[in-house]
Amino acid sequence: MNHPAELAIHQYMEDAVKGNSTMSDATIKQVATDISDALKRQFGGGNKRGDFKLRMSNVGRPTCQLWYEKNKPEVALPFPTTFVMNMMLGDIVEAVFKGLLKEAGVQYEDTDKVTLDCGDTNVSGSYDLILDGAVDDIKSASDWSYRNKFESYDSLASGDGFGYIAQLAGYAKAANKKAGGWWVVNKANGAFKYIPATGLNVDEEINKIKKTVNIIKENKFEKCFQPVPEKFRGKETGNQVLNDGCRFCSYRFDCWPTLKELPAVKSQAKNPPIISYIGEVCAA
C-alpha cells in the first residue's frame, strides 16, 4: 500500500463485508447529493460538450488534439451512446469513494474550484480532494488501465494522453498545495489503490501547461506524433501504423486521411486484432 488511508478504507470495507459497518446519515446524504448533482450535470441539458476552452482537465492533452477541438470540432468521431453513462459511472465512483473515506475516519478537504494564472489566460478546474495537505484526484479505470496504465507513476507518465499529470500539477499549483497522487478504482471489480505522484515535477509541468496555452493562442497546427512501423513476430512488415498517442483521438481520421482500421494483415489468428494503418497496406 502507498498511503495510510488505504488501510483505513480496507478495514472499513472488511467490516462492511462482515455486516459490522455503519454509515452515517450525513455521509449518505452527501453521497446522494453528489450523485444528484452529477445526474443534473450529465443529463440535465445545457451541457454543450463541444464548446472549446482550456481547462485543467484538457490542458495536458496533445496540442494537435486541442487545435482540432478549437478549430474543427465538427470532424470529430461522434461520442458513442454509452459516453454519458461512462461519465456518470465515474461521478458515482467519486461520490461513493469520498463517502468511504469519510466513514473510514480519513479527514480530507472536499472539492473546490481553482484557477491557474498563465499570463493573460487563466486555466480553471475543480480538484477532487486535499488529503494530508496534498491534492489528490479520483479516477475510475477499466481493468486494463487499472493493471497497466495505473501500475505506477512511471507507467502513467509513459503514455499520459489524457493529461492526468498536468491536471494534477495544475490543481496543486493553483491551490498552493503539494501534488499527492491518484486514487484509482477498478470499474470491473471494485478494487482500489493509491498511485503517488512521486516523480512529478510541478514547476516543470506548469511550464508545459504555459507552453500549451501559448501554442493554442498562436493557433498553429502541428502534429505531435508520427506513424510507426508495424511489427509482426519482431520483424517490420513494411507497413506504417498509427502512433499510440493518436489511438484514442476523435480526430484521427481527419488528421490522417489515409488511415484505415483493418484486421492485422499478417495475423493468422481466427479473430485478428484491429490495426490502424497509415498509407498503403502490404499484406504479402
Instruction: Express each pLDDT in 115-172 by its tens digit.
Output: 999 998 999 999 999 999 999 999 999 999 999 999 999 999 999 999 999 999 999 9
C-alpha cell, 31: 453521497
**pLDDT given for residue 50 in this prediction:** 60
Cα 13–Cα 87–Cα 211 angle in degrees, nearest 5: 110
Specify the pairing of strand 178-186 against strand 274-278: unpaired
Q: What's the CA gap between 100 and 23, in Å, rounded?
A: 9
Cα separations (Å) of 109 from 87, 101, 160, 282, 284?
A: 23, 11, 27, 57, 60
Instruction: State what percent of residues in the chain have pLDDT above 90.
Output: 93
Is the CA virtual torsion 254, 52, 91, 174 positive or negative?
Answer: positive
**Model pTM score:** 0.92
Measuring CA to CA, which residue among 79, 101, 85, 80 is closest to residue 31? 101
Measuring CA to CA, which residue among 192, 13, 160 is closest to residue 94? 192
Q: How many alpha carbons fall within 13 Å on the CB side of residue 91?
A: 18
Whether 216 and 169 have beta carbons less than 8 Å apart is answered as: no
268 pLDDT band (50/70/90 cuts)?
Answer: confident
C-alpha cell, 55: 481547462
Q: What's the CA gap between 41 and 203, in Å, rounded?
A: 33
Q: In 3-state terms, what secondary structure has residue 17?
A: helix
C-alpha cell, 154: 512511471
pLDDT tens track for 3-55: 999 999 999 999 999 999 999 999 999 999 999 999 999 998 766 656 799 99
pLDDT tens track for 167-182: 999 999 999 999 999 9
* Chain centroid to CA 29: 28
Whether residue 72 has pLDDT greater than 70: yes
Beta-carbon contacts of 223 under 8 Å, excluding residues fewer than 6 positions away, are 64, 255
